[in-house]
Each structure stands twice: as structure tokens, then as C-alpha cells.
């Protein structure tokens, strides 16, 4: 009986095929990426019932048909903000030149020493909320743009640099490299930075910084190195507590040489002469 059913089904399939009905395997629908090029200064996302803001820079030089690197840039405390950081850093121009997507997330107010101040991760609750903000924002941008999963980078200034350190520590499986400018490791990061992946970090600091003494940057370098993380250390003579545009290119060169997963080594082409000489 089973053989008869199989023969009948095969015969029916042959008749349909001969009549022009060809059964093709279903092809998965490719993802649609609706993101456009441009500067979007007041973007919003709701994370855990809280509306968060960010500034998005997608240069027209970026080929949106291909996976693009992305850089998250976290501003400093208090009066600093996503738009001010974009203006003083030179990062938008850097993004246009080197063809990467750039996002400036905005901090929310936390109570620090009795005052409401816009900060990154200055309380345990704030740290959790800000990390979740990063996760949600990355997920949203991944749905809008073709992002290179091996080229997700983090930078920041002052309090933003501290948060960049923290993100590297808690998301080393996502973040390819961290560049921290004029910041410190902070209370959540002191001690050994033990992570499954030893992410590379670039520490940039002026030796005339009156807010965070240069010794904090030197100590951060020691903490990372003792835990086996690759460290690029840039100490700027005579420089205070502000972003130095002169290091923008160095930051990109650092990012561009560190990917989450290194490409497989290219095997050298076989030498025909050597191949012949090895035959016995």
C-alpha cells in the first residue's frame, strides 16, 4: 500500500512538472534596511519606558549597500551634550572621510551629590540603564543599516570616556575596541578588568589636565596591561581637560586596525617552481 501511495505521488509530481508547474525551494527574503544618509540631530528611542535621545551622522560617503563600521561617541558630564561633542570633536568630518556611521547618544540626569546632573553611569542604577540604552540603540541601528558586526567601536570624552571603559568591560563580545579621551576608569572599573575577550583600548590624556590628573590615565594603562589587554597610550604634552582634534586620525587608525574577529590569514600563493622541486 505504501509503495502505491509513493508511486502515485511521484506520478502526480511528474505531471505537474511537465505541465509547467515547477516546485522551487523557498528563498529567504533578504532583510530591508530603511536607513538613509544624512545628519539626524534629534533621534529618539524608548528604553524601559524612558525616552532617550541621540544624534546620528550617516555621511553620504558611506555605501549603504555594504556593511559599515559604526562609532558610538559618548559626551562628557554636565553642560556637555551630544551636539556640543559633535561640534568640538571633529568626528563628523572624520566619519565622512573614512566612511563610517557615527552616533552621539545623550545622557540623562542622575542625582550626584544632591544635584541633578546629566551623566553616564554614575550610580549602579544609572549604569544598568545606560548599558541597556546602548544595547537597544545598537539593535535599532542594526535594523536600519547594514552594520559590520566586527567593526563596532566606542569612544568618549571625560565622563563619556569612563562609560566607554565600562561598556568595553561588560560588552567585550560586541565591541571591537575602545578609545577613551580624558577620562578615568571610575569606581566600577578599578581592580582587574577580567573579560572573556581582551579588547584593545586606546587611552588619550593631556598631562596638564586639572580635572583628572594624568596619573589616573597612567594607572588605567597599568590596570589594562596587567589583565592582558592590548593598550595604545597617548599622552599629550601641555594639554588640559578637553578634546584634542589632533588625535582624531589616530583614533580612527586605531579602530581600523582592530576588528572583533580578525580576518583569516591569507595563505601565500603556491610557488610552481617549489612545487616541482619537491616532487621526487
DSSP 8-class letter at 265: P
- Residue 91 inside a domain? The answer is yes
- Residue 84 inside a domain? The answer is yes
Q: Give the chain's residues under pLDDT 50.
A: 1-24, 264-265, 268-280
- Residue 220 inside a domain? The answer is yes
Please provide residue 23's backbone torsions phi and psi, each rounded to the nearest 5 degrees: -85, 120
pLDDT tens digits, one per residue of 150-209: 999 999 999 999 999 999 999 999 999 999 999 999 765 556 788 989 999 999 999 999
3-state secondary structure of 260: coil
CA nearest to 148, candidates 103, 101, 198: 101
pLDDT tens digits, one per residue of 129-138: 999 999 999 9
Please provide residue 255's backbone torsions phi and psi, each rounded to the nearest 5 degrees: -60, -45
- Residue 73 inside a domain? The answer is yes
User: Which residues form the domain of 109?
Assistant: 43-260
Say what the pLDDT of residue 62 is: 98
- Residue 276 inside a domain? The answer is no
Please tell me the total count of domains within the chain: 1
Domain of 165, CATH number, reads 3.40.50.1820
Say what the pLDDT of residue 55 is: 98
How distant, in Å, are the alpha carbons of 11, 45, 74, 259 from that of 48?
Answer: 58, 10, 20, 31
- Please give the grid coordinates belonging to residue 264: 583569516
Say what the pLDDT of residue 220 is: 94
- Residue 272 inside a domain? The answer is no
Say what the pLDDT of residue 19 is: 39
- Residue 13 inside a domain? The answer is no
- Residue 21 inside a domain? The answer is no
Please provide residue 119's backbone torsions phi and psi, each rounded to the nearest 5 degrees: -140, 165
Please provide residue 94's backbone torsions phi and psi, each rounded to the nearest 5 degrees: -65, -40
Q: Are 153 and 69 in contact (CB under 8 A)?
A: yes
Amino acid at each position: 500500500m505504501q509503495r502505491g501511495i509513493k508511486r502515485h505521488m511521484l506520478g502526480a509530481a511528474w505531471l505537474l512538472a511537465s505541465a509547467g508547474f515547477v516546485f522551487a525551494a523557498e528563498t529567504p527574503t533578504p532583510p530591508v534596511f530603511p536607513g538613509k544618509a544624512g545628519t539626524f540631530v534629534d533621534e529618539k528611542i524608548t528604553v524601559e519606558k524612558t525616552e532617550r535621545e541621540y544624534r546620528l551622522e550617516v555621511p553620504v560617503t558611506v555605501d549603504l549597500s555594504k556593511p559599515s563600521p559604526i562609532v558610538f561617541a559618548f559626551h562628557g558630564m554636565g553642560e556637555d551634550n551630544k551636539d556640543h561633542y559633535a561640534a568640538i570633536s571633529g568626528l563628523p568630518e572624520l566619519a565622512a572621510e573614512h566612511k563610517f556611521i557615527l552616533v552621539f547618544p545623550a545622557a540623562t540626569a542622575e542625582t550626584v551629590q544632591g544635584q541633578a546632573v546629566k551623566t553616564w553611569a554614575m550610580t549602579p542604577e544609572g549604569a544598568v540603564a545606560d548599558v541597556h540604552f546602548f544595547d537597544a540603540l545598537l539593535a535599532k541601528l542594526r535594523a536600519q543599516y547594514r552594520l559590520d558586526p566586527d567593526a563596532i567601536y566606542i569612544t568618549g570624552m571625560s565622563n563619556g570616556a569612563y562609560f566607554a571603559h565600562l561598556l568595553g568591560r561588560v560588552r567585550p563580545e560586541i565591541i571591537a575596541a575602545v578609545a577613551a579621551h580624558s577620562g578615568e576608569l571610575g569606581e566600577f572599573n578599578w581592580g582587574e578588568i577580567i573579560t572573556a575577550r581582551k579588547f584593545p583600548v586606546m587611552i588619550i590624556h593631556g598631562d596638564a589636565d586639572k580635572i583628572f590628573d594624568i596619573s589616573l590615565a597612567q594607572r588605567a594603562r597599568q590596570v589594562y596591561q596587567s589583565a592582558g589587554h592590548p593598550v595604545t597610550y597617548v599622552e599629550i604634552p601641555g594639554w588640559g581637560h578637553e578634546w584634542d582634534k589632533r588625535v582624531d586620525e589616530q583614533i580612527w587608525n586605531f579602530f581600523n586596525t582592530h576588528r572583533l574577529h580578525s580576518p583569516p590569514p591569507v595563505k601565500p600563493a603556491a610557488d610552481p617552481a617549489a612545487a616541482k622541486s619537491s616532487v621526487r
